Chain A
Amino acid sequence: MIINTAWKNVWRNRTRSMVVITSMTIGIFAGIFTVGLMNGMMGQRLDAALNKEISHIHLNQKAFNDNFDIQYTLDDIEKINAAILSVEGVEAVANRVVINAMANTATKSMGVQVLGINPDQEMTILDLDQTIIPGTGSFFEKESRSNLAFIGEDLAKELNIIRYKIEQSTIDSMRTREVPDEVLVKLEPYIGKRFSSQKAFQKEMKSLLSPHESHKYARIILEESWSFRSRSKMTLTFIDKNNIQTGGMFRIAGIYDINNSMFEKSQIFVLNSDLQRLTGLNENDYHQTIVRITDIANTELITESIIEKFKNLEIQNWKEIQPELAMMSGMVEKILTAFMVIILAALSFGIVNTMLMVVLERTKELGMLTAIGMNKKKVFAMIMSESVFLSLVGGVVGMIISWIVISLTASKGINFVGAQEGFEAMGISSHIYPSITNSFFIIVTILIVITGILSSIYPARKALKLDPAEALRTE
Chain B
Amino acid sequence: MKNLTKLIVLCFLFVPVLSFGQRGLSATEIIEKADDKFNGEESGISVMAMTIVRPTWKRTVEFKSWNKGTANSLTLITAPSREKGQTFLKRGNEMWSWNPSISRLIKLPPSMMSQGWMGSDYTNDDILKESSIVTDYTHKIIGEEIIDGRMCHKIEMIAHEDAAVIWGQQIRWIDKKDYLFMKAELYDEDGYLIRSEIGSDIKTMDGRLIPTRIELIPEEEEGHKTIIQIKEIEFNAPMDDKFFSQQNMKRVR
Contact = CB atoms under 8 A, between A and B. Distances in A.
Contact of B166 (A104, A146, A238, A244): A104
B124 A238 contact: no
Interface stretch (B11-19, B44-52, B157-165): B157-165
Given A105-B188, A233-B189, A239 B163 contact: no
Interface residues of A, number: 28
A229 B162 contact: no
B96 interface: no
Contacts of B166: 104-106, 233-235
Contact of B161 (A146, A194, A196, A245): A146
A107 interface: yes
Contacts of A160: 188
A163 B191 CA distance: 14
Contacts of B93: 244-245
A102 B188 contact: no
B168 interface: yes
Contact of B124 (A100, A194, A237, A249): A237
A229 B189 contact: yes
Nearest to A102: B114
A159 to B, nearest CB: 10
B111 A100 contact: yes
B110 interface: yes
Contacts of B163: 249
A196 B124 CA distance: 19
Contacts of A248: 164
A280 interface: no
Contacts of B167: 106
B194 A107 contact: yes
B130 interface: yes
| Most A C-beta atoms less than 10 A away, residue of B123, B130, B187 | B130
Contacts of A247: 128, 130, 164
Contact of A249 (B110, B165, B188): B165
B190 interface: yes
A109 interface: yes
B226 to A, nearest CB: 16
B123 A109 contact: yes
A232 interface: yes
A106 B189 contact: yes
A395 to B, nearest CB: 58
B92 to A, nearest CB: 9
Task: Give the secondary structure class of A's interface.
Answer: strand
Contact of B186 (A106, A110, A146): A106
Contacts of A212: none
Interface string A111-148: 10000000000000000000000000000000001100
B240 interface: no
B238 to A, nearest CB: 30
Interface string A242-266: 0011011100000000000000000
A106 B114 CA distance: 13
Given A104-B123, A109-B114, A196-B220, A235 B164 contact: yes
B111 A106 contact: no
Given A107-B194, A109-B123, A249-B165, A237 B188 contact: no
B168 A102 contact: no
Interface in B146-194: 161-168, 186-190, 192, 194
B168 A237 contact: no
A238 B186 CA distance: 24
A233 B159 CA distance: 12
Interface string A294-319: 00000000000000000000000000
Nearest to B136: A249
A62 to B, nearest CB: 22
B42 interface: no
B110 A238 contact: yes
B32 interface: no
A232 B167 CA distance: 11
A461 B4 CA distance: 87
A237 B220 contact: no
B206 interface: no
Given A194-B192, A234-B166, A249-B162, A104 B125 contact: yes
A146 B187 CA distance: 21
A123 B123 CA distance: 36
A249 B194 contact: no
A249 B164 contact: yes
A400 B207 CA distance: 92
Given A105-B166, A249-B164, A249-B165, A239 B110 contact: yes
A237 B109 CA distance: 11
Contacts of A234: 166
A329 to B, nearest CB: 34
6 contacts: A102-B111, A102-B114, A194-B192, A233-B166, A237-B128, A247-B130
Q: Which 4 A-B pairs have the closest CB atoms?
A: A106-B188, A249-B164, A106-B194, A109-B114
Given A109-B123, A229-B190, 17 more contacts: A102-B124, A105-B166, A106-B186, A106-B194, A107-B188, A111-B111, A146-B161, A160-B188, A163-B190, A194-B192, A233-B189, A234-B166, A235-B164, A235-B166, A237-B124, A245-B93, A249-B163
